[in-house]
Structure 1
Amino acid sequence: MKNENPHTENVVEVRNLYKGFGDMQVLDDLSFELRRGENLVILGKSGTGKSVTIKCIVRLLTADSGSINVLGHDVNQLKEKELNEIRQKIGFLFQSGALYDSMTVRQNLEFPLRRIKKDLSETEIEAKVKEALENVGLPEAIDKMPSELSGGMRKRISLARTIIVDPEIMLYDEPTTGLDPVTSHEISLLINDIQQKYKTSSIVITHDIECARTTANRMIMLKEGRVYKEGKPQEFEQTDDELINSYFQSQNVKNLKTT
């Protein structure tokens, strides 16, 4: 569980968001905010709209209605050039990691730098690559291919590639999925390290209760596409709410089965 977060400025504000697919209403009047410097964990059963929400924040999906304000800009109203400028300030760690299999680790990390930080010299690019790898604990992997890495290592390299462009906001989509409990805990601690070193504001989508406990300054639980409960981690742990207790118990059982 994280320390108290003193910051109150909102870097993301989601208001009255609706998103459906055909006859299925996934987000139904969803509202919440991400505060500067905090890790916000979003919990909820599959199909409650967690991943859809963060995809709407970067407009990989377009909301049907409502507003999403990111760093002072309504992303639903931005033209493509302005949207890309905002996206460059947001790091998105996908479940799969999404490394380029045909590139070495070095090339995977150089790629976003050359695209976004176009004024950097070759010496500066080299330094940034080494710094990012040091920060995820894998400096020795610099010339390896993704196929030579374990699942946990691939996740770390994906995280290095995300932070190398100095994002203000991080979006983590199930960062510990498919990892063993020890590696999952290492990734959770790394999320906290990134928060401290890069001063990021982060949304963490997870089913992993231990990840949530380790990383969260604040939690929200979604039910049927809207916020069911919001609070500090201890408020979720010390509640009489049957839905929340059953959710935590079911996820704890799943975690035990994987150990």
Structure 2
Amino acid sequence: MAEPVIELKDVSFSAQNMDVVRNISYDFEGGKTTALVGPSGGGKSTVLKLAAGLLLPTSGKVLFRGQDISAMGRPQTLAFRRESAVVFQDSALWANQTLFQTLELPLKIHYPDMDKDERESRIAEVTAAVGYKRALHIRPALLSMGEQKLISFARALLCNPSILFLDEWTESLDDEAARRLVGIVRRRKADNNTILFISHDLEIIKELAEYVVMVIDGRLSLQVTGEEMEADRNVAKIVEKGISS
């Protein structure tokens, strides 16, 4: 068993006096791909954001390589952010910035010595990889939801992270675009990246997930390997029912 990269230690999270995540403990293995599944509103996106350090738990701890994320200083936090990237369900693009400015920002933060030509080259590389073909000097409001998702995915690739957090990352995409992104994730998986993803697409889960973790009502209700899900039709039915609700 590989060493955990992200560890949730008895983690709970509350918002607006409501318990969203309840006493979850789970180790995400380094170099493995884990699907977080479950019904809409069950808490899986919150679990992903906690694992990514975007939310701090109300109680419990989230560890990155053994270090409490909430206790990390600026250098450690920057290193974590450079090594990891998130694709948000709503894309989360800056409304008042052009696409180029949105994509350029992570490179300016994490690679301050990179010159403009290098930044432009890297941005062109990742946008071509995801299949985005329109201009970059426009704002997100001019894009379709699918195009926004492509830019969000391109942004996640910019710093070549070894940890990816993907929330409904193929949503709003046509089949061709979705398969392109699945192919990128498949290659990242082959390169032993650590990947946590949320999807309601059973075929994508079957294709990519080495582990499947179901979150219902803020609690872990099922933990299986992808192989176990493939081998046991009853388990597959539970997962299928969970992602369709």
- Shorter-normalised TM range: 0.7 to 0.9
Q: Deviations over 1:197-252 (max 9, x none)?
A: 6x53111022222331232122111233232222222422443658x625514746
Distance in 1, Cα, partners of 2:187 & 2:131? 11
Q: Does 1:72 align with 2:66?
A: yes
1:114 maps to: 108
Alignment correspondent of 1:233 = 226
What residue identity is the alignment partner of 2:38? G
Q: Where does residue 207 of structure 1 map in the other structure?
A: 200
Percent of aligned pairs with the same residue? 26
Amino acid at match of 2:220: V
Inter-CA distance 186–47: structure 2 relative to 1 (3 Å threshold): same
1:88 match: secondary structure: helix
Q: 222-231 vs 169-178, which deviates more?
A: 222-231
The amino acid of 2:32's aligned partner reads E
The whole-number CA distance in structure 2 between the counterparts of 1:150 and 1:107 is 18
* Of 13-22 and 38-47, the range deviating more from structure 2: 13-22
Measure how far apart 1:186 and its partner are. 3.6
CA offset digits 1:95-119 (Å, max 9, x no partner): 1112234544433321211122101
Task: Tell me the TM-score normalized by structure 2.
Answer: 0.84
Deviation for aligned residue 1:135: 2.5
Aligned-partner Cα distance in 2 for 1:250–1:42: 11
Deviation at 1:81, TM superposition (A): 5.3
Which residue, 212, 225, 231 being the options, matches 1:219?
212
The 5 Å alignment of 1:42-191 reads 42-79=36-73, 82-138=76-132, 140-141=133-134, 143=136, 145=138, 146-191=140-185
SS in 1 for 2:146: helix
User: Does the 8 A contact of 2:206 with 2:230 survive in 1?
Assistant: no
Instruction: Pick closer, same or farther for the CA change 1:208–1:115 going to 2, 3 Å.
Output: same
Asked if 2 retains the 8 angstrom alpha-carbon contact of 1:185 and 1:210, the reply is no
Separation in 1 of the partners of 2:198 and 2:10? 20
Given that residues 112 and 165 in structure 1 are in contact (C-alpha distance below 8 angstroms), is that contact kept between their aligned partners in structure 2? yes
In the aligned structure 2, how far is the partner of 1:185 from the partner of 1:71? 32
Instruction: List per-residue Cα deviations over 1:52-97 (Å, max 9, x = no partner).
Output: 1122223332212222111332113224554344223220111111
Structure 2 regions of 5+ residues with no counterpart? none
TM-score normalised per structure 1: 0.80
